């Protein structure tokens, strides 16, 4: 059918694709400004930009979902594949692919069953990695010097722990204050565990011998921070033994499974950390009494055994009778044996001496004497050469010394002037009229009497660091 035949179609306005997409986006956002959608998470993807993309599905339909980075960082529940959740947000469209989606502002678990299913799946995954194995758990010290406590500083938990420690055995306590509930709880608890393990020996703070992570009771939602994988891995990596005391005896969290010891309450954790001082003292005293009794009994038994052995032992005269007799016999044989030995060595010496000839010895002496004479001649020549070289060096140094001596200067027409007291006169102002002077020339000395009137005293010159010294 042509446009002329259908004038109604010819009068319809014309839209671009972008205009249609924008109009649909406005209609959808105005119609569904804020909704709650329940479904199962599928196709979960954490983008490098920080945004989270996934699908919400049920048995009949699929809805695209996106969580912007700023919102994802504030979520209480971390999205996981297959988890049934209730997402709160606004419906919008994505014109680039002509699809509608929900911009998620909040994520909640779809009931307690979903939460327990998520925890069970996380528990199986961490157990498969060996984090809950019994062989990796560390023993607690019998009497720690320092105890590190990770809990809230304002709750009753820290007061219960301190009260129990003071009753049983007072120890030094380091408190790392953390929130035990809320969005930041899991990250700060993990950071506290890592912080205690990062302390250096000899630093301003001592390294705790044992750690206690404690919190009072609450609902499973209140205790979720201690089910986070971040906290579980921090406990598994801790080099310091750790006691978990989160909630009451009926509460079960994943930190219980990875901790080295589990305490049903914070008070019980303090009891696990230290023994009772009075009981320890009593036990020590009882062990001391038992030790003394055992020592006395052992000494009595050994004394009786020694007396019994003494009765059956022979007298000293009987013990030494035979050795003394053997000594007498040996002493009688010793003289004859020495004489026989001397005769044997004398015969051997004479036999050896008969084999010796004086000619080889004399030849050896002659060769040694010739070698000694040659070495003596070499030594004499070397000594003379060394002495001549030393004499030449000495004469050269003497000439150099004479050339720089003040006497060489005097030989060029200069003179040294000294007073009666032998002091050197460096200026005419220092000489008094009538003063007796000693004049030293290059070839001798003369005496002179100063004449004339005394010149005015010159101003004392300011010495400088670069002034030239005297010739002496």
What pLDDT digit, counting tens, does each position of 411-425 carry? 777 778 888 887 887
- List 176's β-bridge partners, or say none: 150
pLDDT band at 471 (very low <50, low <70, confident <90, very high): very low
* CA distance to 202, 278, 283, 288, 303, per residue, from 291 (Å): 38, 20, 12, 5, 18
Write out the residue range of the structural domain in which residue 44 sits: 17-110
Percent of the chain with pLDDT over 90: 28
- Say yes or no: 173 and 77 in one domain: no
- Say yes or no: 251 and 168 in one domain: yes
Q: In this model, does residue 401 exceed pLDDT 70? A: yes
Q: Give me the residue label for tokens 């290059």.
A: 442
- Say yes or no: 106 and 150 in one domain: no
- How far, in Å, CA of 120 to CA of 116, rounded? 6
- Say yes or no: 94 and 48 in one domain: yes
- Say yes or no: 161 and 267 in one domain: yes
Neighbours of 109 (CB within 10 A): 19
Q: In this model, does residue 75 exceed pLDDT 50? A: yes
Pairing of strands 261-262, 242-246: parallel
- Say yes or no: 103 and 142 in one domain: no
Q: In this model, does residue 73 exceed pLDDT 70? A: yes
Concatenating the DSSP letter of every residue in 268-324 gives: HHHHHHS--HHHHHHHHHHHHHHHHHHHHHHHHHHHHHHHHHHHHSPPHHHHHHHHH
- Say yes or no: 199 and 266 in one domain: yes
Structure tokens at 83: 């988890």
pLDDT band at 149 (very low <50, low <70, confident <90, very high): very high
Q: What share of the chain is helix, strand, coil (3-state, %, to 5)?
A: 50, 20, 35
pLDDT band at 112 (very low <50, low <70, confident <90, very high): low
Average the pLDDT over 91-118 and give the result: 80
Whether the Cβ atoms of residue 102 and residue 56 lie closer than 8 Å to each other = yes
Buried b / exposed e along 220-245 (16+ C-beta atoms within 10 A): eebbbbbbbeebbbbbbebebbbbbb
- How far, in Å, CA of 42 to CA of 53, rounded? 10
Domain annotation covers residue 236: yes
CATH of the domain at 150: 3.40.50.261
Whether the Cβ atoms of residue 65 and residue 53 lie closer than 8 Å to each other = yes
The 436-441 sheet, strands edge to edge: 416-418, 436-441, 444-449
Tally of residues, the chain: 472
Domain annotation covers residue 61: yes
pLDDT score at 211: 96
Average the pLDDT over 243-270 and give the result: 86
Q: Which residue has the higher pLDDT, 398 or 65?
A: 65
Q: In this model, does residue 202 exceed pLDDT 50? A: yes
- Say yes or no: 156 and 66 in one domain: no
How far is C-alpha 189 from the chain's CA centre?
A: 24
Structure tokens at 55: 């699908």
Q: How many helices and strands in the chain, by DSSP H and E?
A: 13, 13
pLDDT score at 299: 93
pLDDT score at 251: 65
Final residue of a domain: which of 273, 304, 320? 273
Domain annotation covers residue 339: no
Domain annotation covers residue 371: no
pLDDT score at 318: 73
- Say yes or no: 161 and 250 in one domain: yes
3-state secondary structure of 190: helix
CATH of the domain at 23: 2.40.50.140
pLDDT score at 294: 93
Neighbours of 85 (CB within 10 A): 25
Q: Which residue has the higher pLDDT, 221 or 335?
A: 335
pLDDT score at 472: 44
pLDDT score at 120: 81
Mean pLDDT, the chain, integer: 84
Whether the Cβ atoms of residue 269 and residue 263 lie closer than 8 Å to each other = yes
Structure tokens at 409: 């200067």
Domain annotation covers residue 72: yes
Domain annotation covers residue 355: no
- Say yes or no: 178 and 263 in one domain: yes
Domain annotation covers residue 206: yes
pLDDT digits (tens, 9 = 90+) for 27-59: 888 888 888 888 888 888 998 888 999 999 887
- Say yes or no: 60 and 167 in one domain: no
- Say yes or no: 40 and 144 in one domain: no
pLDDT score at 61: 87
Concatenating the DSSP letter of every residue in 37-55 gives: EEEEEEEEEE-TTS-EEEE
Domain annotation covers residue 281: no
DSSP H/E element including 338: helix 316-355
Q: In this model, does residue 92 exceed pLDDT 70? A: yes
Final residue of a domain: which of 254, 273, 292? 273
Number of domains making up the chain: 3
Q: Which residue has the higher pLDDT, 232 or 442?
A: 232
pLDDT score at 469: 47
């Amino acid at each position: 059918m042509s446009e002329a035949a259908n004038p109604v179609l010819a009068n319809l306005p014309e839209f671009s694709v972008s205009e249609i997409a924008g109009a649909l986006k406005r209609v959808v956002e105005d119609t569904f400004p804020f909704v709650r959608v329940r479904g199962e998470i599928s196709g979960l993807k954490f983008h490098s930009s920080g945004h989270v993309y996934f699908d919400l599905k049920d048995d009949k339909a699929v809805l695209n979902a996106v969580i912007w980075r700023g919102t994802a960082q504030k979520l209480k529940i971390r999205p996981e594949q297959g988890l049934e959740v209730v997402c709160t947000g606004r419906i919008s469209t994505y014109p680039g692919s002509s699809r509608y989606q929900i911009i998620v502002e909040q994520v909640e678990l779809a009931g307690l069953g979903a939460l327990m299913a998520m925890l069970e799946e996380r528990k199986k995954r961490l157990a498969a990695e060996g984090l809950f194995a019994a062989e990796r758990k560390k023993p607690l010290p019998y009497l720690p010097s320092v105890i590190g406590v990770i809990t809230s500083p304002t709750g009753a938990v820290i007061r219960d722990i301190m009260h129990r420690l003071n009753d049983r055995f007072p120890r030094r306590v380091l408190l790392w204050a953390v929130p035990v509930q809320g969005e930041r709880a899991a990250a700060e608890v993990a950071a506290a565990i890592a912080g205690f393990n990062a302390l250096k020996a000899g630093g301003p703070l001592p390294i705790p011998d044992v750690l206690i992570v404690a919190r009072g009771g609450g609902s499973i939602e209140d205790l979720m921070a201690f089910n986070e994988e971040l906290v579980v891995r921090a406990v598994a990596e801790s080099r310091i033994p750790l006691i978990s005391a989160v909630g009451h005896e009926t509460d079960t969290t994943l930190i219980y499974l990875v901790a080295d010891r589990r305490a049903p309450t914070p008070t019980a954790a303090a009891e696990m950390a230290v023994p009772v001082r009075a009981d320890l003292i009593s036990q020590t005293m009882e062990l001391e009494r038992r030790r003394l009794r055992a020592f006395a009994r052992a000494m009595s038994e050994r004394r009786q055994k020694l007396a019994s052995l003494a009765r059956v032992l022979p007298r000293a005269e009987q013990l030494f009778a035979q050795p003394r007799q053997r000594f007498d016999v040996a002493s009688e044989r010793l003289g004859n044996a020495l004489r026989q030995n001397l005769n044997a060595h004398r015969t051997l010496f004479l036999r050896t001496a008969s084999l010796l000839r004086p000619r080889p010895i004399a030849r050896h002496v002659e060769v040694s004497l010739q070698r000694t004479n040659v070495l003596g001649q070499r030594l004499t020549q070397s000594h003379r050469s060394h002495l001549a070289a030393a004499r030449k060096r000495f004469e050269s140094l003497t000439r150099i010394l004479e050339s720089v001596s003040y006497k060489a200067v005097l030989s060029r027409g200069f003179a040294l002037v000294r007073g009666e007291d032998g002091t050197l006169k460096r200026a005419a102002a220092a000489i008094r009229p009538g003063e007796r002077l000693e004049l030293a020339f290059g070839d001798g000395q003369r005496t002179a009497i100063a004449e004339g009137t005394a010149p005015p005293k010159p101003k004392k010159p300011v010495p400088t660091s670069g002034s030239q010294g005297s010739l002496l």
